Chains A and B, each alone.
Chain A
């Protein structure tokens, strides 16, 4: 199985801050990487797939970058509704695997 790691595990930030989350795969996955946002008690929501393609309806302040083993999710200007947990997920090979998550907290 491909192992996914994320850093940091949590980050405290203020509204308007730029936040970057890193996701790393233990082997190359080209650009087969997606990002999801999850709020408490809710299902995850797709933000980005193909490492950098923004899902329809997702605000442009979210962006994804990277390839092979190293990826980033950036929120350019954090909004109140962005406080949540973010997960990366590799789609290169079965079984699809998720990162452990990064919680974005209010500072």
Chain B
């Protein structure tokens, strides 16, 4: 069964870069779209963007200038970088698998809390 696991620092200083990795087990990155979604009390669930296994990306326009996603099929993982973070980026970050048209997200990783603070 496909499982996703996020990893990365739980604390990031303001203006620095948030970096997270999602490792996939029990399946392959091939033929799916891989998204990052975050959840904060103030903004609810927010889709950050997706990357296809061949490297095509789409980002949320509200974050596009600060987001970079990458994929490493040899390691069966994909990554998120969010630059110039502020306290507003404090959230639980989830990695998820998505269908061809973005019509479903399943499964989700367990989520990782990232706090932006000095």
Contacts and interface: CB of A to CB of B under 8 A. Distances in A.
Interface stretch (A14-22, A38-46, A65-73, A75-83): A38-46
B109 A49 contact: no
A66 B110 CA distance: 30
Residue picked from B108, B110, B111, most chain A C-beta under 10 Å? B108
B94 A43 contact: yes
A101 B108 contact: no
A74 interface: no
A34 B99 CA distance: 12
Contact of B58 (A49, A50, A94, A97): A94
A91 B103 contact: yes
A7 interface: no
A53 to B, nearest CB: 9
Contacts of B102: 91, 94, 96
A89 B94 contact: no
Given A43-B110, A43-B111, A95-B60, A55 B104 contact: yes
Contacts of A87: 44-45
B3 to A, nearest CB: 11
Contacts of B110: 42-43
Interface of A: 1, 32, 34, 36, 42-46, 49-50, 55, 87, 89, 91, 94-98, 100-101
13 contacts: A1-B61, A34-B104, A34-B105, A43-B107, A43-B109, A44-B45, A49-B103, A55-B104, A95-B61, A96-B47, A97-B47, A100-B44, A101-B45
Query: Would you list the 10 A-B pairs with minimal beta carbon distance, nearest first?
Result: A43-B108, A46-B106, A98-B45, A49-B104, A95-B60, A96-B47, A91-B103, A91-B102, A49-B103, A43-B111
